[in-house]
Structure 1
Amino acid sequence: MTQPIRLAQVGIGKIARDQHLPAIAGDDRFALVASVDRKGGVERLPVFPTIDALVAAGLGVEAVSLSTPPAGRRALAANAIAAGLHVMLEKPPAATLSEIDDLAARAKAAGVTLFTSWHSRAAAGVEPARAWLADKRVTGLRIIWKEDIRRWHPGQEWVLGPGGFGVFDPGINALSIVTAILPQRLFVEAATLRVPENRDAPIAASLNLRTGEAAGSAELDFLQTGPQSWDIIVDTDGGTLKLHDGGSRLELPHETPDVGANREYPNLYARFAELVAGRTSDVDVRPLQLVADAMLIARHERAEAFAF
């Protein structure tokens, strides 16, 4: 029997406890042996303040999964790669495109796996949506991605700080889906970002998009109360496709196919295990490129001050 991959979780925040730890525990291809966090770790496992301290402990760790904020993540991942560890990155994979380019080059030189994981791509309806769109001509695209920052990022000031991405932290999930399912490349043609007067990152954004000859739009909002909206609507010459609930529910013309249970993070760790076994990497920066493009060409509007 193949021995499980000895893994350490780096960053023990809300996303790690809600998603990463349960997914790791449910996959016998991994054995969680330690955590790295300066504030607290995983119960009954060794916790270390740095990657270097983890490696020095001699636990035989083979891989790390990083779920720290994107700002500062490059240094952590670079240290792990230098130690010969395989690396999985929570989305967004880094604070800038240059950082992830550097990490990809380091991983290739070191012969280790680097995996930029986009969890929403692993939602149950995404692959069936891609397959259905493959032979269609897209005529329109609408993204409505609206959620409550206070519910999903309670007290996490970094999200609205420099390098925190603001509303693009959830919005990049939608961009990760559409870049996976559309048969042609997606571009940002214009953007309006609304930034609270006391913050550095946008709390809402409107994007004008284009794929092939089709125009599209994206409405992103971090102040949605009540029901949350994670919807993608693609008009085609064969009818309209709709993805709801972050990609977990698919509607096609005249049918609502059963796409099965939603297993985003278990699917990500299954993919990571495959990559490690094959000593290959999966580095896709297209969603991050679109965010960077929007930031470059955006018109900025001031919004009222925000407090958690």
Structure 2
Amino acid sequence: MDHMEQGNGTQISEFLLLGFSEEPGLQPFLFGLFLSMYLITIFGNLLIIWAITLDSHLHTPMYFFLTNLSFSDICLTSTTVPKMLVNMQTQRRVISFEGCIMQLHFFIVFASLENFLLAVVAYDCFVAICCPLHFTVIMNSPRCVFMVVVSWILILLHALFQSLMVLQLSVCTDLKIPHFFSELNQVVQLACSDTFPNDLVMYVTSVLLGSGPLAGILYPYSKIVSSILAISSAHERYKAFSTCASHPSVVSLFYFTILGVYFSAAATHNSHSSATTSVMYSVVTPMLNPFIYSPRNKDLISALRGYL
């Protein structure tokens, strides 16, 4: 695999991550803030995985998908935050060429996986509420594993293709990335060679891999709402709503923060502003997911209390 080259033909060895602020006085505060958020994310999601793994009563499709979602959250933040913390602590904001490509690749993998898993959980809720008598037949273990494996395959191929496309670019003398991690769009913008193929691929894959899972979320929930409203008993309606109440909260948080990032970047044309708002879906959302799912889930709370 060839290294990305500079316009003069020399090979690139490292990039400079500008992060959020160059103010030395802010670095200790930012370091403490992001370290705390990272530890909460790791601890909260590991706790969910641990409880679900140990409790046989939680070995159901919903908890299987929730385990995968928690794993994805851990990996998503671990792709960016540890490197940012090291750079803050050492006051060296560099990232090697290999590190940049790996970070870019794995961020695409786990951000996309989050997207796909949210759609799979929506389908699980749809079957549970709209087809309860056939739930065990439809959502059997092989089918659940198949949906997750297919998601992984599509995402890995997508991330590999994007990474290979980046490697074909030539970069000019400016090697500064105005972000706290190697974000795909920011790296592509450093190129002095033709980026039209990269921009086209990013646009097409964003539409396909973004709108596809989103449609896979909105359609089941339109059916879920219709089915719940048709229930005559108020108690049964409440019970049905509470079954899937946490998932729409996570979906809204994930999609609204991503939309906020790109609308903010488009409105301000400010890369530092984009870096700040990117924290919402890359750091804050994975941290909040355990707090959204756990309090509304009595079985999970019972399992956690039993093992703590």
User: Which TM-score applies when normalising by structure 2?
Assistant: 0.25
The structure with higher relative contact order (CA 8 Å, sep 6+) is 2
User: Which TM-score applies when normalising by structure 1?
Assistant: 0.25
